[in-house]
Structure 1
Amino acid sequence: MTLAFITCLLALFVLAAIGAPIALSMIVSAIVYLAVKGQDLGLAAEQIIQGLYDSFIILAVPLFIVAANIMNAGTISERLLGFCIAVVGRLRGGLGHVNVVASLIFSGMSGSAVADAAGIGKIIIEMMRKEGRYPAGYAAAITAAASTIGPIIPPSIPMVMYALVSDASIGYLFLGGILPGLLMGVVLMGLNAWIARRRNFAMEEPVPLRKLPRITANAFPALLMPAILLYGIYGGVTTPTEAAAVAAAYALILAGLFYRALTWKNLYSIMSESARASASVGLVIGAALIFNYIVASENIPAHLAGYLDGLSMSPLAFLLLINIVLLGLGCLLDATTIILVIVPLFIPACRTLGIDLVHFGVVVVVNCMIGLITPPYGILLFVINATTGIPLREIIREIWLFIAVLVFALALMIFIPGIVLWLPRQFGYPG
């Protein structure tokens, strides 16, 4: 490593340590690198502008954010919850199962774990806490754990970012996330059923079967969104970015015209909030583009690949090592930073070792989502704490078993690549 790169890292760590936003810390440290190197400081702005404007796929991020915010503001979430309660609410620990199933369905619409937790998650937590049926910490913990499924089942904002840095097919990445997302739902529901029996959680009054057709019809337009998105992408009708635009438009028509749940004031708030969230993500993406330029200039990926090649490490051992590293980083960094800054370092090594980039990408995204609920950073824990007022210590006390079963599901994906790759292969993926 050169003096310029060491100085850059030192500036990054110092700024992050004093509480500066990670995106701004990266941009400032990149400028420090250019200054020490004696290069034009305007290169930082050039890399941001060039990277953002050359990547059409990035446009999918704000569009999926808009779609998620519209669904949360309208009555779509409530209708989906009503459908889930009718289907699985009658089981022991029913509202816990409803929580997971609602996240599975909502994940096919938003692509964002935070949107899931802050929207539909807040509603289900209030239902679970009503009349003391579930401890507040447990309701918050299972909501946070279920929200991690949001970016695994397509559409997925983190997968869009991974495709940006790896050149992997976003269509096959989306397909690769379906079975892992369902697996995560199964292990969470299994754990919820076990805990419900041990703690003797109350059973909900079952919804009469005669009401199920009406409840299903009420939620059917919302349930159609994942089908429309998947058909658009894999039927060759739209690109993933165009599918994101379709999702936003469909959510707007559904909430505004069909359900009549939006006012002009609500729409303005939705667009303002979406713009702020998109700008926040865009700033991190821009900072990552500069950092990736620095990493490429220092030839770090090639050095890392050569080092690993010299160790004669097997692909499985490499995957296990990287996932342990990422699980540790997930305790301290947000998923966007890990995917855009850390993961590109390992892409050349994956190619050298023959690791499939779609398999690697899905595993990385699952890993990063587990990081969202892992203390001390665990941004989903803070989101739920902020929206519900449930103390963090109560959430953290209940979250560990959910983290354990999600890590178990992650291990299955690592050791059995077919869980990720079977569906893409059915659609012609050669990997």
Structure 2
Amino acid sequence: MLDPFTLSIALIVALTVTGLSVGLAVMSGSFLYLILRGLDPSLATESMLQGLFNGYTLLAIPLFILAADIMNVGSLSDRLLRFCQALVGRFRGGLGHVNVVSSVIFSGMSGSAVADAVGMGKIIINLMTKDGKYPPAYAAAITAATATVGPIIPPSIPMVLYALVSDQSVGFLFAAGLLPGLLMALMMAVMNYFIARRRGFPTDESVSLAELPRLTFNAVPALMLPVILLGGIYSGVMSPTEAAAVAALYALVISVLFYRSVSIKQLYTALLNSARSTASVGVLIAGALTFEYVIAREQLARSISVLISGLDLSQAGFLIAINVLILLLGCVLEGGAILLIIVPILIPAVEAMGIDLLHFGVIVVVNAMLGLITPPYGLLLFIVSNITKEPIGRVIREVWPFIVALLGALVIITFVPDFVLFLPRLLGYGG
């Protein structure tokens, strides 16, 4: 007869395959485990509620989601895009470079790959496909790929989730993601340039120098958001959660009062969308906190740590194995599930191998974001396919060069820890 833990895992997999959300599937499996073990199911509920009530940092997630949704319904995205066009549109493959730069800027505000693809992505795809400048599948592919930068450059919702399971500083995690995020953007810009030259993609219409001050002035209030947010965190004035609240309020003020681009109906839509997204993330977190009790009782983390130690892997070999594992999991699981359910099991082994947890966090988040654009279940691929009405197969064919570029960035991020830890150390991190 199968043991309770095996049966609980089987139930989780079966429910996930049938389409139930991962969070609810994990909760169901956890409750089954407790019942089969003869334990009080309320233990799982207690574990979940304690994790949620004590997770002050988790409040940053709904606030960052709200800030992104407000920016998407207002004119911030449009103004930022015009500013990016003025900066890099004149180069070969100009709108592809605009796509990259706009994702870098927008990621400093939203912290979400999906928010980037849905908000800024719709506008840039329309620009790229207008008058047949770029094939729709290519516009969709580069939009999906550049959106992966969103959760790497601070602020970052996945980094907050990693902080929850690893007990690391959100501020230091944000700092650790900045240079890797810029490296990913650079690799994609280089790839776009070579593809543009090979396929004869056009430059965008050049913006005269006389127009640049006006476009910059229009974009400055939006560009100030990441400055205020990160400046507040690293100066010690605000905690990450307080900074998220300021970001949401600032997005609301400049959209409603300064740009006057958000109606009451649009604001209601933004609040409704953010509530739905928050509920979705909340269910996933609740499921992970419930499963945490099961993992602890089964001593699963310790067993895996002992197993890996017995394999006698070098640190480099271990990192390669972790990268391959999470990349494969990313093909079938969403990033949040990987961070909240898989990563806690691996952390003891990571510590035993002497790998810095801040460095490991960036590796894991980058891998999880790559999962958003890898078939068969890359969420961003389905989002951009729906926007362009292109068959998913065409989008997948066009996205492969950008996956290769991002894998190149991942190699540097994995094997040059000083590159990742440079900024955190400047800010006082002792790792």
- TM-score interval (norm. to shorter): over 0.9
Which whole-Å CA distance do the structure 2 matches of 1:271 and 1:7 have between them? 39
SS at match of 2:109: coil
CA distance in structure 2 between the aligned counterparts of 1:325 and 1:251, rounded to whole angstroms:
38
Work out whether residues 75 and 259 of structure 2, in 8 Å CA contact, stay in contact via their aligned partners in 1: yes
1:398 and 1:385 map into 2 onto residues whose CA distance is: 12
Please state how far the C-alpha of 1:2 moved relative to its aligned partner.
8.0
Give the match's secondary structure for 1:210: coil
CA deviation after TM superposition for structure 1 residue 266, in Å: 1.1
Aligned counterparts, 1:112-151, within 5 A: 112-151=112-151
What SS does the corresponding residue of 2:134 show, helix, strand or coil?
coil
Q: 2:367 — aligned with what?
A: 367
CA distance in 2, matches of 1:277, 1:17: 21
Which residue in the other structure is 2:342 paired with? 342
Partner of 1:15: 15
Which moves more between the two structures, 8-17 or 55-64? 8-17
Residues 2-30 of structure 1 show CA distances to partners (whole Å, capped at 9, x for unaligned) of 81111111111221222222111111111
Aligned-partner Cα distance in 2 for 1:330–1:356: 22
How far apart are the structure 2 equivalents of 1:171 and 1:300?
Answer: 29
The aligned counterpart of 1:187 is 187
On the 8 A contact 1:136/1:394 being kept in 2, the answer is no
What RMSD, in angstroms, separates the aligned Cα atoms of the two structures?
1.1
| Aligned position for 1:38 | 38
Comparing 272-281 with 311-320, greater Cα deviation is found at 311-320
**Contact 2:116–2:150 (Cα < 8 Å) also in 1:** yes
Distance 2:10 2:206 in 1: 59
> In 1, Cα distance between the equivalents of 2:393 and 2:113?
21
The answer to whether 1:266 aligns with 2:266 is: yes
- Residue 49 (structure 1) aligns with: 49
- Give the TM-score normalised by structure 1: 0.99
Task: Give runs of aligned pairs for residues 17-416 of structure 1, distance below 5 A.
Answer: 17-416=17-416
| Partner deviation per Cα, 1:315-370 (whole Å, 9 max, x = no partner) | 22111101100000000000000000001111011111110000000110001000
Q: What is the CA distance between 1:390 and its match in structure 2?
A: 2.3
Give the letter aligned to residue 253 of structure 2: I
Per the TM alignment, residue 101 of structure 1 is displaced from its structure 2 partner at its CA by: 0.1
Deviation at 1:49, TM superposition (A): 1.2
Q: Look up the SS of the partner of 1:149 in the other structure.
A: coil
* Equivalent AA in structure 2 for residue 223 of structure 1: L
1:295-321 deviation per Cα after TM superposition (whole angstroms, max 9, x unaligned): 111001111111222222222211110
Residues 356-400 of structure 1 deviation map (CA, whole Å, 9 limit, x = unaligned): 000000110001000000000100011112233222122111011
TM-score, normalised by the number of residues in structure 2: 0.99
Partner of 1:3: 3
Secondary structure of 2:428's aligned partner: coil
Letter in structure 1 aligned against 2:184: M
Equivalent AA in structure 2 for residue 120 of structure 1: M
Structure 1: where are the runs of 5+ without partners? none
Give the conservation status (yes or no) of the 8 Å contact 1:80–1:219: yes
- Cα displacement string for residues 24-60 of structure 1 (whole angstroms, at most 9, x for unaligned residues): 1111111110110111112222222111111001100
What is the count of residue pairs matched by the alignment? 431
The one-letter amino acid of 1:159's match is M
Q: CA deviation at 1:265?
A: 1.2
Amino acid of the structure 1 residue aligned with 2:149: I
CA distance, structure 2, for counterparts of residue 99 and residue 289 of structure 1: 37
Distance 1:159 1:50 in 2: 21
User: More deviation in 331-340 or 264-273?
Assistant: 264-273
**CA-CA distance at 1:238 after TM superposition:** 0.3
Q: Secondary structure at the match of 1:103?
A: helix
**Secondary structure at the counterpart of residue 346 of structure 1:** helix
State the partner residue of 1:429: 429
> Does structure 1 retain, via aligned residues, the 8 Å contact 2:137–2:388?
no
Q: 1:166-198 deviations in whole A, cap 9, x for unaligned?
A: 001111100000000000010000000000000
Which secondary structure does the structure 1 equivalent of 2:430 belong to? coil
Other structure's SS at 2:238 match: coil
CA-to-aligned-CA distance 1:244-278 (integer Å, 9 cap, x gap)? 00100000001011100111111111111110110
Q: What is the percentage of aligned positions where both structures have the same residue?
A: 55
Code of the aligned partner of 1:318 = F
Q: Unaligned 5+ residue runs, structure 2?
A: none
Structure 1 residues 305-314 or 3-12, which shifts more?
305-314
Distance (whole Å) between structure 2 residues aligned to residue 2 and residue 220 of structure 1: 61
Whole-angstrom distance in 1 between the partners of 2:171 and 2:405: 28
Secondary structure class of the residue paired with 1:209: coil
SS of equivalent to 1:185: helix
1:281 partner SS: helix
Can you list the C-alpha shifts for 1:130-185, whole angstroms capped at 9, x where unaligned?
00000000000000000000000000000000000000111110000000000001
C-alpha distance in 2 between matches for 1:199 and 1:17: 40
